[in-house]
A and B are shown apart, each in its own frame.
Chain A
Amino acid sequence: MRKEDQPTETSPSADQGMTRADFLTATGKSVVLLMAGAAGYASWNSLTSRLAQRKLTPIRGYPSSPWYSMAVDITACIGCGKCVDACCAENDVPAEHFRTWVERYIVKKDGEVVIDSPNGGKDGFTDTVPEDQISKAFFMPKLCNHCDESPCIQVCPVGATFLSPEGVVLIDYEYCIGCGYCIQACPYGSRFWNPNKHTADKCTLCYHRITKGQLPACVEVCPVKARIFGNLADPDSPISKFCRENPVMTLKPQLRTGAKVVYKGLSKEVV
């Protein structure tokens, strides 16, 4: 007789119906299935309710006060370069590197756009295009945008660059390893390699001044008040008032960097 044909104690015959072992197995399986179903349902419910609670706010509020930034009035800037000069002197910026710089845009009558920034605009600008060929021209001061979702902070491998409690993007020069990843990640060209410190470097909004209640050096010296500094979280601050009264725009908003520096009179030619 083959092994399979031998009746065993546990094998049920047709008239025996369900054995106790079968019953327990079936019950066990049902309980596990029910519990899995309940758990799945509960998780799904919790997930959907959590998602429902999460609102997609168009623009988030300021996380704390003060939350510093700068507004730039392009229509007011005369391209004198005093801001660049003051910044370099105040922050001991190495030659041919810039924490802030001024670009000049000349839109010619034939549509060609000429952009330049000789020595970062530090020494002002000389005429390069005959006046009768110019359709429009403007100066464009630039600096670190102190982004809230900053790509440079994201990529720093040691956390040497960080967002201060006041919303200023800073670098710990004693901790930076000098890999240059942040310089690559900044889409605005605001970071540079400091050949003296052998680290990355950038605008600090003159953190050493603003934390003492003073203005950044570039704001202080601007003869036409084209740079407006202040606390975004304070509705009565000069910058809040400026942003309220003027249409303002950030650079490269499509990159979702959360740039905080805003511009009045931003033109499509600006890079």
Chain B
Amino acid sequence: MNPIFANPMNLLAQGTGYVFPNERGELQWSILIVLYPYITGLVAGAFILASLVRVFKAEAVRPTYRLALLTALAFLICAPLPLVAHLGHPERAIQIMMTPHLTSAMAIFGFVYAWYLMAVLLLEVYFDYRKDMVLAAEKSGPIMKVFFTVCTLGVKDLSHKALEFDEKAGRFLTVIGIPSAVLLHGYVGFIFGSLKGNPWWSSVLMPLIFLLSAIVSGIAMVFLIYMISTWYRRQKIDMRCANAIGRYLMFALIFDLTLEALDIVHRMYEAGEWFDVLHLVSSGYMYYTLFIVQLFLGGIVPLVALAVLQAAKVSDVVKTRYYLVMSTLVLIGVFAMRWNVVIGGQLFSKTLRGLTTYRLQMVGHEGLIAFMIILLLPFFILWFLTAILPPWDKPDQEPALT
């Protein structure tokens, strides 16, 4: 029996060849660090989808605009959690902000994060929801009235001029937000791509691949949440919107897969000193996660299905089901991509002559339970956000100002 299946928790019992004595223990970065780029990618991708409406006037996907914003916010709030939970001294985490070492890619995270959360997302949500919050404050009971009034920062002006300003400010923030989202996730790719000591990570394509897969995963996540929440609310899915998102997802997948293929082809052709060990890793355990899950199930299958759905004459129900399955596959595929980068990059020794072992823990601060909690937390936050700031377009109500 394949040892991988014999003991599922001992995921990568390889340990062959020669590894440095200091590499024989646990891997330095485990499943939480897989989660970190996954979550930031969802943030960046969801925001890019929102910006399609606001900046690029993609009116078809307007029903998901606010949902995308709130999704980005919910995931952004949780983005630092896996990082902090992983630290040996979480109580010292603030030092990254207080005394950043400016040559470190990781040190810049605090600033990129703070900028994106404070200067872009929160402000954009504020300007987009200010009118709703003022109206909600008028209708609410005493506690919620105070809550909404605080959220409006006391600006209750609903004149045409004030609403026009909200709209302009929101659009301006989206324009700033696009490069910020690109920066946020491109930078995450740079954390890995800039390490010359690790041939699996060291690639100038890494930030771009991270960015494209972020866009893919963000679109897929908002798409999935949109479909499930619409079904849960017993509303009808706007098929014009669903088809448009399906089309965007397809285009993003084309770019993403092209870059990933380019990366693999380039590595195979260049075949440097690291070739043998990388070949061994990617034809062993990583064969499943890289070629089967990431590239085939998470890339090629959804791409072909989405392309066929563009032309096929099938009922809306069938289409929706396909979209649901394909979005899920894309999300699993992008998670596999993060896994293959983070875990895959540590599965071989720096001797380039041996393979290491990854043991997935169940409990502990880097275990499966911690992972599940941090993964599910954004959904609870999103649920809370949609409860206080409903992102759904009401049929009898026009959008704030268009």
Say yes or no: A179 contacts B197, CB within 8 Å: no
Q: Which residues of A contact B105 (CB under 8 A)?
A: 155
On chain B, which size bracket covers the interface?
35 or more
- Interchain CA distance A224-B305 in the complex, whole Å: 69
Q: Does B196 contact A177, Cβ atoms closer than 8 Å? A: no
**Closest chain B residue, CB of each to CB of A202:** B22
| Bound complex: CA A159 to CA B105 (Å) | 12
4 closest A-B pairs by beta carbon, nearest first, are A178-B88, A189-B20, A187-B197, A198-B88
Q: How far is the CA of A155 from the CA of B106 in the complex (A)?
A: 7
Give complex CA distance A186, B350 in Å: 9
Number of interface residues of A (CB under 8 A): 41
Q: With A97-B22, A158-B107, A178-B88 in contact, do A151 and B96 touch (Cβ < 8 Å)? A: no
Known: A154-B103, A187-B198. 14 other contacts (CB 8 A): A96-B21, A115-B18, A116-B18, A154-B104, A177-B92, A179-B87, A181-B104, A181-B106, A184-B28, A184-B197, A188-B20, A189-B20, A192-B25, A271-B18
Could you give, for residues 156-200 of chain A, a 1 whenever the CB lies within 8 Å of some chain B CB and a 0 otherwise? 111100000000000000011111110111111111110001110
The answer to whether B92 touches A175, judged by C-beta atoms less than 8 angstroms apart, is yes
Q: Does A117 sit within 8 A of B, measured CB to CB?
A: yes
| Residues of chain B lying within 8 A (CB to CB) of residue A179 | 83, 86-88, 106
Q: Is there a chain B Cβ closer than 8 Å to A101's Cβ? A: yes
B101 and A158 within 8 A (CB): yes
Closest CB in chain B relative to A145 CB, distance in Å: 12
0/1 string, B258-278, CB within 8 A of A gives 1: 000000000000000000000
**Contact of B100 with A199 in the complex, beta carbons under 8 Å:** no
Instruction: Give B350's nearest chain A residue, CB to CB.
Output: A189
Instruction: Give 1 or 0 for each of A95-126: 1 = CB within 8 Å of chain B CB.
Output: 01110010100000000000111011000000
Chain B residue nearest to A119 in the complex (CB): B21
CA distance A98 to B198 in the complex (A): 21
| Contacts A96-B24, A157-B96, A157-B107 given; does A199 touch B352 at CB 8 Å | no
In the complex with contacts A117-B21, A175-B92, A180-B195 CB distance below 8 A: no
> Within the complex, what minimum Cβ distance (angstroms) separates A114 from chain B?
8
Given A158-B99, A178-B89: A184 touches B29 (CB 8 Å cut-off): yes
Q: A177-B92, A178-B87, A185-B195 are in contact. Are A158 and B100 (CB under 8 A)?
A: yes
Interface of A is mostly: loop
Q: Please pick, from A119, A151, A157, A191, the residue contacting B196 in the complex, using a CB distance under 8 A.
A: A151
**B167 close to A (CB within 8 Å):** no
Asked, given contacts A155-B104, A158-B99, A180-B28, whether A189 binds B349 with beta carbons under 8 Å apart, the answer is: yes
Q: When the two chains form their complex, are residues A158 and B28 in contact, meaning their CB atoms are under 8 A apart?
A: no
A residues touching B (Cβ–Cβ < 8 Å)? 96-98, 101, 103, 115-117, 119-120, 151, 153-159, 175-181, 183-193, 197-199, 255, 271
A107-B202 Cα distance, complex, nearest whole Å? 31
Closest Cβ neighbor of B98 among chain A residues? A158
Q: How far is the CB of B338 from chain A (nearest CB, A)?
A: 16
Tell me the complex Cα distance, A184–B191, Å: 11
Closest Cβ of chain A to B37, distance in Å, is 14
A155 and B198 CA atoms in complex are apart in Å by 13
Residues of A within 8 A of B310 (CB): none
Check if B279 is an interface residue, CB within 8 A of chain A. Answer: no
Cβ of A269 to closest chain B Cβ, rounded Å: 10
Measured between alpha carbons, how far is A119 from B198 in the docked complex, in Å? 24
- Complex CA gap A116/B238 in Å reads 63
Neighbouring B residues of A157 by C-beta, 8 Å: 96, 100-101, 104, 106-107, 109
Chain B residue numbers with a CB within 8 Å of A119 are 21
Minimum CB–CB distance from B28 to chain A (whole Å) comes to 4
A178 to B109, CA, bound (A): 16
Would you call B87 and A185 a contact (CB within 8 A)?
Answer: no
Q: Closest Cβ of chain B: how far from A194's Cβ, in Å?
A: 8
Say yes or no: A176-B89 contact (C-beta < 8 A), given A115-B351, A157-B100: yes
One digit per residue, 1 when the CB lies within 8 angstroms of any chain A CB and 0 when it does not, for chain B 79-95 equals 00001001111101101
Pick 25 A–B contacts, CB within 8 A, sort by A: A96-B25, A97-B22, A153-B103, A157-B96, A157-B106, A158-B92, A176-B89, A177-B88, A177-B90, A177-B92, A178-B88, A178-B89, A178-B92, A179-B87, A180-B86, A183-B28, A184-B195, A184-B198, A184-B346, A185-B197, A186-B350, A192-B22, A255-B197, A271-B351, A271-B353
Is B132 engaged at the interface, CB distance under 8 Å to the other chain?
A: no
A158 contacts B96, C-beta separation under 8 Å: yes
Query: Shortest CB–CB separation between residue A146 and chain B, in angstroms?
Result: 16
Taken residue by residue from 296 to 324, chain B's Cβ proximity to chain A (1 for < 8 Å, 0 otherwise) reads as: 00000000000000000000000000000
Contact residues of B between 86 and 135, Cβ < 8 Å to A: 86-90, 92-93, 95-96, 99-101, 103-107, 109
In the assembled complex, the CB of A85 is this many whole angstroms from the nearest CB of chain B, namely 14
Q: Which residues of chain B are near A192, meaning CB under 8 Å?
A: 22, 25
Nearest Cβ on chain A to B127's Cβ, whole angstroms: 33
Q: In chain B, what residue has the closest Cβ to A192?
A: B22
Given the interface pairs A157-B101, A198-B88, the reply to whether A255 lies near B196 with Cβ below 8 Å is yes
B101's partner among A103, A159, A185 (CB-CB below 8 A) is: A159
